[in-house]
Amino acid sequence: MISIDKAEERLGKFRVVVGITGLWITVCLSSCGPASEAPRSNAPSVQADAPEIASNPVHIPAPKVIPVSKETHRVYQWYCAQCHGVKGHGDGINASHLVVPPRNHAKADYLETRSDQQLFDAIKLGGLAVGRAPCMPAWGHTLDDETIQSLVRYIRELCVCKAL
Ligand code: HEC
């Protein structure tokens, strides 16, 4: 049997080891945080408090025409290009993993059969809301209406086509 003194001495050493380990874990965790957050700061500006999407979402009137800007290009490259491709040809890096191929935004055949409002709804509310595939995500929680409207204008530039 060990004496009480020895037992206390051991307990003391144990506490020191636990303390140091805890300190290291804290240091490691806190140093991982900012590093993993860093790439997010490059994200184009998005609306922090985008409005809730109504339960019957279709036919939300699109805001007035918003011209294409550098920010529109940035948003497209950041949020759309992985599926629709860097130039909108429907050949993004994720395209081959989707059951339904992403729309080719440079192809007029289909896009000139759609109104601007329909494109706006598809982007804001997602594919499912306009009778298309659900793998076209809804962006209404991420992008504000003006940004979405400028994306509609950008798609019209890519397809060099007019609305229905
Ligand atoms: C996860 C992949 C993915 C991402 C990211 C994505 N899309 Fe799509 N998108 C699709 C797919 C798949 C379709 C085709 C849906 C169909 O034909 O049923 C589509 C279709 C569309 C259409 C045509 C809708 C219609 O009437 O057929 C528009 C417009 C569109 N996307 C715009 C965008 C924009 C703008 C972004 C970026 C903000 C974006 N998409 C991001 C997958 C994606």
83 and 150 inside one domain: yes
Q: For ligand 1, atom 34, which residue shows the shortest CA distance? A: 80
pLDDT at 5: 65
Instruction: Give the pLDDT of residue 65.
Output: 84
Length of the chain: 164
- Terminal CA-to-CA distance of the chain, rounded, Å? 91
Expressed as residue numbers, the domain containing 116 is 70-159
- Is residue 86 domain-shared with residue 20, that is, in the same domain? no
CATH number at residue 136: 1.10.760.10
Task: Indicate whether 9 and 81 sit together in one domain.
Answer: no
What's 41's DSSP letter? Answer: G
The pTM score is: 0.73
Contacts of 107 (CB under 8 A, 6+ apart): 90, 159
Q: Cα(37) to centroid of ligand 1, in Å?
A: 27
- Gap from CA of 131 to ligand 1 centroid (Å): 12
Residue 143 CA, closest ligand 1 atom number = 38
Longest dimension (CA), the chain: 91
How confident is the model at residue 63, as a pLDDT? 72
CA angle 162, 71, 90 (to 5 degrees): 55
- Tell me how many domains the chain contains: 2
Spell 50-78 as b/e; 16+ CB within 10 A means b.
Answer: eeeeeeebeebebeeebebeeebeebbee
Which is nearest to 78 in space by CA: 51, 102, 50, 43?
A: 43
Q: Tell me whether residue 55 is in a domain.
A: no
Residue 61 in any domain: the answer is no
Q: Are residues 86 and 149 in the same domain?
A: yes
Rounded to whole angstroms, the Cα distance separating 61 from 124 reads 11
> What are the pLDDT tens digits along the chain (164 aa)?
556 666 567 656 656 554 444 434 443 333 333 333 344 446 665 555 544 444 455 667 777 789 999 999 999 999 999 999 999 999 999 999 999 999 999 999 999 999 999 999 999 999 999 999 999 999 999 999 999 999 999 999 999 998 88
On whether both 118 and 76 belong to a single domain, the answer is yes
From 116, 117, 130, select the one nearest 162 (Cα to Cα).
116
